[in-house]
């Protein structure tokens, strides 16, 4: 069967499964809509958390970044993996014990202030909308290639599907949908990785194939270094980013992870604090399967792509190039008219341009794998993008209905709150679709901005809210606003300064970055500013009420342990 036929079958079956689960597990109360009733098993929650975590950025874009950036792309791998460990061990159990399943809810109660809650709501909305823009872009990319429609149409189709099962099922529907989506996406990621690893190195384990040898007996990475070097590019295993920027991006991704609202809420869908820890462990295992495979997929993909296109006659390019040219995500133009594809860093305009986001999706076609594998990858890419998009839309609707509306209308009924939550999700889908059509960057880059905003706004107030009894509402508000405003301003200036303000290319060039830190890593600086503002303002203003300090002491004591005796 043709690729399009397999794609319709596999994507159609997976969507039917997701929508069927959403209908079967339809939320009937706010508790089911927000936290799935708190009755999900640790294993199921671990799989759902992994699916929620591994967005389009992980499935589609991370390997693409590593493929084109080599060693430098590892910052995403290290940052996202380390960030999950930080979240699971340092924050999740305490937040679960505190009993608040949204960040604004935690901020509002911990800092005994509706103003702090409202500031947190707006921070959550900024972060979630930035993040979901990347997911909707990923949806559009998948549909544009495999359903042979343009990206804008693909985004619209994805919007309709996400709206249906996220708004109908709430967290209860999303949780069990994400269990199915994890199974689909991990199978779709691993099958082509295993096939290509066998093709190139004879080793069925991609992680080991990355360090294996190719046909001529050379190690794959040595061969890749040589191929890129011959074309004039830096070696694949060499690093080109400044150390300070690598450190800043990794740190921003790590601590931004710990402040992501759509992941934190997952730890409230299990019955007990112990189950939250256990599900976090399961999720780390499930996440590591994809994350340890991504570098191999990246190396295999760029090696095959260059081997099949660079230096080849323009009229004899492989079929995969023509397929992706229809989406405008890969372009080939014989500028000098010599009849061959020239691909070198020394040309003003390259004759071959490959969008970073297509590398994983195109890998099976580049390697000439069976058509059903290509269709399977399409289904996996959709699962990754839609699972995270649904979780983010739920955060947005929860922030608006529970943390914003209920703050000002505390007597509204549960039915009204549920109606507002669903209406908020509908509006959020529309806004997310707009950013999917008009993205501020490639998928992983957009997601990195969301992590930076989370690092600069939420991480310090959560950490100090748990571990400092002296931290007060004034410090929290000052910290969130200063960190968010600085980070957002920096990103807007350097990423959109030319478009929005007519700045010159020199003004927004990397030579003008603060301390050499890119917009993707500036969240680390925003976090430091947040911490400093929190500390200075809280020290110069009244301490929190005693009952709040007692609560903070309480959540740090393991259940069953004896409380400290007064004065000891």
Name the band, by pLDDT with cuts 50, 70 and 90, for residue 531.
very high
Tell me whether residue 335 is exposed, middle or buried, using C-beta atoms within 10 angstroms of its C-beta: 0 to 12, 13 to 18, 19 or more.
exposed
pLDDT digits (tens, 9 = 90+) for 110-124: 898 888 888 888 887
Mean pLDDT of 525-531: 95
What is the SS3 assignment for 518? coil
pLDDT digits (tens, 9 = 90+) for 317-352: 888 888 887 777 788 877 777 778 777 765 556 677
Range list of H helices, 58-150: 62-69, 74-86, 92-98, 103-110, 114-146
* DSSP string over 261-306: HHHHGGGGSSSSHHHHHHHHHHHHHHHHHHHHHHHHHHHHHHHHHH
pLDDT digits (tens, 9 = 90+) for 257-273: 766 666 666 777 777 77
Looking at every residue in the chain, the average pLDDT score rounds to 79
Nearest to 17 by CA among 133, 131, 179, 142: 179
pLDDT of amino acid 345 = 66
Measured between alpha carbons, how far is 172 from 268 in angstroms, rounded to an integer?
A: 12
Pull the structure tokens for residue 440: 């501020």
Name the band, by pLDDT with cuts 50, 70 and 90, for residue 80.
confident
End-to-end Cα distance, the chain: 74
pLDDT of amino acid 387 = 66
Local structure of residue 312 (DSSP, 8 states): S
Q: Is-above-0.95 flag for pTM?
A: no
Q: In residues, how long is the chain? A: 568
The helix (run of H) or strand (run of E) holding residue 330 is strand 330-332
Tell me whether residue 559 is exposed, middle or buried, using C-beta atoms within 10 angstroms of its C-beta: 0 to 12, 13 to 18, 19 or more.
exposed
pLDDT of amino acid 112 = 87
Largest CA distance in the chain: 85
Name the band, by pLDDT with cuts 50, 70 and 90, for residue 255.
confident
pLDDT of amino acid 539 = 92
Tokens 């943390």, located at residue: 403
Pull the structure tokens for residue 29: 């109360």
Q: Please state which of the ranges 58-62, 68-72, 189-193, 394-398 shows the lowest mean pLDDT.
A: 394-398
pLDDT of amino acid 122 = 82
Residue 468 has pLDDT above 80, yes or no: yes
* DSSP string over 99-114: T--SHHHHHHHHTT-H
Residue 301 region by backbone torsions, left for phi larger than 0, else alpha for psi between -120 and 50, else beta: alpha
Over the range 173-200, which residues count as b (16 or more CB within 10 Å of their CB) and which as e? bbbbbbbbbbbbbbebbbbbbbbbbebb
Measured between alpha carbons, how far is 285 from 282 in angstroms, rounded to an integer?
A: 5
Over the range 493-515, which residues count as b (16 or more CB within 10 Å of their CB) and which as e? bbbeeeeeeeeeeeebeeeebee
Phi and psi torsions of 266, nearest 5°: -65, -25
Residue 26 has pLDDT above 70, yes or no: no
- Which residue did the predictor score with more confidence, 133 or 71? 71
Hey, what domains does the chain have and what are their CATH numbers? 3-447 (1.20.1730.10)
Residue 35 has pLDDT above 50, yes or no: no
Q: Around Cβ 208, how many Cβ atoms within 10 Å?
A: 12
Name the band, by pLDDT with cuts 50, 70 and 90, for residue 538.
very high
What is the SS3 assignment for 515? helix
Residue 149 has pLDDT above 60, yes or no: yes
């Amino acid at each position: 069967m043709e690729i399009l036929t397999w794609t319709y079958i596999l994507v159609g079956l997976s969507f039917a499964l997701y929508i069927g689960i959403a209908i079967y597990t339809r939320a009937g109360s706010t508790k089911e809509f927000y936290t799935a009733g708190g009755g999900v098993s640790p294993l199921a929650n671990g799989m759902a958390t992994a699916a929620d975590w591994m967005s389009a950025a992980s499935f589609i874009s991370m390997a693409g970044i590593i493929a084109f950036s080599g060693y430098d792309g590892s910052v995403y791998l290290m940052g996202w993996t380390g960030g999950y460990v930080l979240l699971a061990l340092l924050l999740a159990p305490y937040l679960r014990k505190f009993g608040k399943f949204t960040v604004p809810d935690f901020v509002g109660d911990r800092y005994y202030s509706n103003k702090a809650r409202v500031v947190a709501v707006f921070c959550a909305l900024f972060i979630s909308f930035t993040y979901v823009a990347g997911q909707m872009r990923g949806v559009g990319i998948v549909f544009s290639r495999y359903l042979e429609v343009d990206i804008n149409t693909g985004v619209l189709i994805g919007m309709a599907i996400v709206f249906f099962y996220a708004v109908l099922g709430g967290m209860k529907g999303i949780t069990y949908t994400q269990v199915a989506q994890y199974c689909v996406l991990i199978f779709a990621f691993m099958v082509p990785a295993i096939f290509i690893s066998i093709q190139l190195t004879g080793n069925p384990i991609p992680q080991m194939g990355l360090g294996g040898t190719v046909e001529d007996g050379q190690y794959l990475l040595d061969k890749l270094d040589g191929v890129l070097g011959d074309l004039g590019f830096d070696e694949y295993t060499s690093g080109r980013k400044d150390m300070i920027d690598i450190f800043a991006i990794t740190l921003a991704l790590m601590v931004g992870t710990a402040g992501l609202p759509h992941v934190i809420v997952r730890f409230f869908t299990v019955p007990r604090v112990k189950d939250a820890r256990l599900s976090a462990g399961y999720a780390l295992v499930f996440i590591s399967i994809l994350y340890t495979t991504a570098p191999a997929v990246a190396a295999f993909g760029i090696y095959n792509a260059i081997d099949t296109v660079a230096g080849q006659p323009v009229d004899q390019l492989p079929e995969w190039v023509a397929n992706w040219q229809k989406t405008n995500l890969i372009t080939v133009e014989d500028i000098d008219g010599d009849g061959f594809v020239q691909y070198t860093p020394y040309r003003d305009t390259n004759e071959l341009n490959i969008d970073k986001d297509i590398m994983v999706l195109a890998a099976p076609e580049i390697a000439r794998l069976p058509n059903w594998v290509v269709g399977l990858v399409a289904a996996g890419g959709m699962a990754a993008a839609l699972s995270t998009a649904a979780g983010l839309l739920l955060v947005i609707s929860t922030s608006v209905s529970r943390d914003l509306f209920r703050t000002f209308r505390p007597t509204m009924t549960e039915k009204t709150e549920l109606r507002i939550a669903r209406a908020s999700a509908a509006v959020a889908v529309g806004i997310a679709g707009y950013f999917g059509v008009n993205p501020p960057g490639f998928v992983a880059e957009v997601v990195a901005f969301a992590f930076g905003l989370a690092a600069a706004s939420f991480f310090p107030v959560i950490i100090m809210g748990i571990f400092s009894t002296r931290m007060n509402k004034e410090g929290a508000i000052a910290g969130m606003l200063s960190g968010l405003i600085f980070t957002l301003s920096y990103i807007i200036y350097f990423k959109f300064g030319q478009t929005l303000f007519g700045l010159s290319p020199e003004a927004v060039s990397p030579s003008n970055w603060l301390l050499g830190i890119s917009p993707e890593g500036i969240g680390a600086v925003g976090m430091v500013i947040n911490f400093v503002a929190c500390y200075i303002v809280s020290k110069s203003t009244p301490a929190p009420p005693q009952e709040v300090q007692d609560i903070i002491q309480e959540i740090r004591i393991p259940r069953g342990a004896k409380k400290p005796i007064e004065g000891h």
